[in-house]
């Protein structure tokens, strides 16, 4: 088969967007060859117009593919949306010198926070007269 039709390898790089198809790569390479060879302005413009149309077509096909995931595979759908929008999750790291000290500090913070929230909602539930009475008697 290689004798009749020459075999050609098209490289797709990992940094290529998911909607970049082999057909689009052929057009992009054609534009690059025209530019390097000093092709005419009209030829370059014609290839650029075909590239624009092909990009729109490829993005629409990829959008349809991602939409179909919402019916069957929501994880892949959200991954597709992240790729389309260029979203990259932030990676947060925290270095802790002493795990037990950090754990105790965190436990204390959560206990204090829980106590504050509980007091806040108890105070909200009290009527005005009850609140006045509790504030003057010093109990809370």
Q: For the chain, which residues make up each domain, given as ranges? A: 22-85, 99-137
Structure tokens at 112: 């204090």
Q: Which of 2-11, 29-38, 84-93 has the highest mean pLDDT?
A: 29-38
Q: How confident is the model at residue 53 (pLDDT cuts 50, 70, 90)?
A: very high
**Residue environment code for 4-40, b if the CB has 16+ CB neighbours within 10 A, otherwise e:** eeeeeeeeeeeeeeebbbeebbebbebbeebeeeeee
pLDDT tens string 15-50:
778 888 889 989 988 888 888 888 888 888 899 999
Summarize pLDDT for 99-125 with one digit per residue, the tens.
Answer: 888 888 889 988 888 888 888 777 766
């Amino acid at each position: 088969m290689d004798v009749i039709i020459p075999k050609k390898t098209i490289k797709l790089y990992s940094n290529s967007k998911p909607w970049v198809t082999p057909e689009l790569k052929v057009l992009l390479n054609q534009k690059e060859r025209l530019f390097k060879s000093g092709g005419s302005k009209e030829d370059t413009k014609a290839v650029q117009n075909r590239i624009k149309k092909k990009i729109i077509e490829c993005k629409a096909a990829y959008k349809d593919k991602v939409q179909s995931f919402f019916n069957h595979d929501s994880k892949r759908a959200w991954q597709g949306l992240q790729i389309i929008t260029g979203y990259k999750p932030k990676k947060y790291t925290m270095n802790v010198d002493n795990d037990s000290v950090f754990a105790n500090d965190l436990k204390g913070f959560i206990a204090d926070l829980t106590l504050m929230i509980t007091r806040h909602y108890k105070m909200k539930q009290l009527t005005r007269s009850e609140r006045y009475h509790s504030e003057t008697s010093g109990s809370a």
